[in-house]
Amino acid sequence: MTPESNDVRIAPVPVHLRRGALELVFADLPDEECDEQVALALAEAEGNDAALQGLFCARTGKRVLGAALAQVQPGRTAAVWLPRLAPGVAPTTAHVLMAAACGWLEGQDVVLAQTLLATVPADDRNVLEAARFTHLAEMLYLVAPSDQYPEHPPAGMLQLRPAGRVGYERLAAVVEGTYTATRDCAALDGVRQIDDVLAGYRAAGCSGADEWYLVQGAGEDVGCLILADHPRQGNLELVYMGVLPEWRGHGWGVEVARWAQWRARRLGRDRLVLAVDAENGPALAAYAAAGCAAWDRRSAYLRAFGS
């Protein structure tokens, strides 16, 4: 094991060492996915050097001992990739790297940061706890292939109204109202302002707000459906759907999910994909009834910044 020494430097990664540092950061991914993530990160940095300002490494000379990555995202959020170390490097190096990444985030006007982990070994848990990250939820990733899509628009009580026609302020009020007594990542309620939340939604996929809908029943605003298009992957993402508290209990979750699948059919997408809190029983039941099945699971950890 490499001992700690005064020669170890913790600092932002210089350009010529970025590839090696990123290969460490993404080392837990399958080889092909790791290569893709490295290539994407480097390509983004070519057009915007600030994209990798949150990439930190521990090194002696030109040898990278470990690396961590914090990426600022729209909506005053950040994604954190936990420190990963070269073989034989002391685990305490991960704590110093995580502290550097979080210290950098404190100066970036970030409200919250999160990390998603397939497994959480003891070393990672210790790093998270020391950096004041808490467990948010177990996230299930669901998919509905195209053979589950309805062949016609859902013929229930609900209608979709594009956000551009009803006004974004009206939709924002409904989205915020659906967070009341939510069972989906309830700890996030109130952490961010609604404008920040919508900025994060808008950055998903490449469709902006083109696939945002106000959901109405009998002429009343009852909920919302936020979709994001990922044509390169053949996916339509169900980013968020919600029903206002006073309209819950009608089983409308299944119908809203069917509307999302109808939009996927209309756009020619192979899959509808989404993530849901594993503790959100009603949502899971609605998605299952709409033909969605789980294909992956992640542990989500969160740290709030500022006041």
**In Å, how far are 234, 257, 269 from 146, measured between CA atoms?**
10, 13, 7
Q: Given a cut of 70, is residue 5 above it in pLDDT?
A: no
pLDDT at 307: 55
Do 161 and 252 belong to one domain? yes
Residue 90 in tokens: 């002391």
Q: Specify the pTM.
A: 0.91
Higher pLDDT, 271 or 7: 271
| Contact predicate 51/181, CB 8 Å | no
Query: Domain tally for the chain?
Result: 2
Q: Given a cut of 70, is residue 4 above it in pLDDT?
A: no
Do 116 and 180 belong to one domain? no
Range scoring the smallest mean pLDDT among 44-53, 116-125, 151-160, 285-294: 44-53
- The strands making up 55-60's β-sheet, listed across from edge to edge, are 9-12, 55-60, 63-73, 77-85, 112-117, 293-304, 134-145, 271-277, 235-243, 220-230, 212-217, 158-162
pLDDT at 3: 44
Q: CB neighbours (10 Å) of residue 114? A: 18
How confident is the model over 163-184, as pLDDT tens digits?
A: 999 999 999 999 999 998 887 7
We report the CATH number of the domain holding residue 22 as 3.40.630.30
pLDDT at 6: 55
Do 117 and 179 belong to one domain? no
Q: Once rounded to an integer, what is the mean pLDDT over residues 178-191?
A: 78
Q: Is 167 left (phi over 0), alpha (psi -120 to 50) or beta?
A: left
Do 268 and 172 belong to one domain? yes
pLDDT at 62: 79
Do 54 and 123 belong to one domain? yes
Residue 135 in tokens: 């467990």
pLDDT at 91: 93
Range of the domain at 218: 142-298
Do 122 and 189 belong to one domain? no
pLDDT at 186: 67
Q: What distance in Å separates the CA atoms of residue 91 and residue 162, rounded to the nearest whole number?
A: 51
Do 154 and 265 belong to one domain? yes
User: At 248, which amino acid appears?
Assistant: R
How confident is the model over 274-298, as pLDDT tens digits?
A: 999 999 999 999 999 999 999 999 9
pLDDT at 61: 81
pLDDT at 7: 75
Place of tokens 């609605």: 286
Closest by CA position to 55, among listed 88, 92, 17, 86: 17
